[in-house]
Amino acid sequence: MTEETKCSCGSANVALFPCAGAANVGQLSNKIAIELEKQGIGNLMCTAGIGARAPGLMKSAEASDRILTIDGCSVNCATKTMELAGFKVDRQIIISELGVKKTKDRDPKGEEVTEILEKVMEILQSE
């Protein structure tokens, strides 16, 4: 039996809000959020929908026990979007702080996603 990886954040109801921006790090933030959802770490949600104040998405965010933002870079768009909408961000990950240089390449390679996912999992498990 394999041991399931879980976030040490102490909640099963974690909302994942990636920046999904135009640069490589934004695209990586979205791919990482998708992988975290696949691994049962949280539920991928629409950051743009929060910016648009979409009622259903706002209610989903409100119902979350914890909010995790995954920003591509230090502009912090996902985190700022959540905070401007009145939400407290419980944990922020910034992809560019994990050794990835921000570029205009919008197609992160599989090995890069795997490498960054491992780093993100280490961060989440050490909380």
Token pair recorded at residue 22:
């135009």
Q: What's the gap between Cα 46 and its chain centre?
A: 10
For residue 108, name the pLDDT band (cuts at 50, 70, 90).
confident
Phi, then psi, of 64 in degrees rounded to 5: -75, 145
Q: Are 61 and 13 in contact (CB under 8 A)?
A: no
Mean pLDDT check: name the lowest of 6-10, 31-35, 71-75: 6-10
Q: Are 33 and 6 in contact (CB under 8 A)?
A: no
pTM of the model: 0.88
| 115: Cβ contacts below 8 Å, ≥ 6 apart | none
Which tens digits make up the pLDDT trace of 20-72?
A: 999 999 999 999 999 999 999 999 999 999 999 999 999 999 999 999 999 99
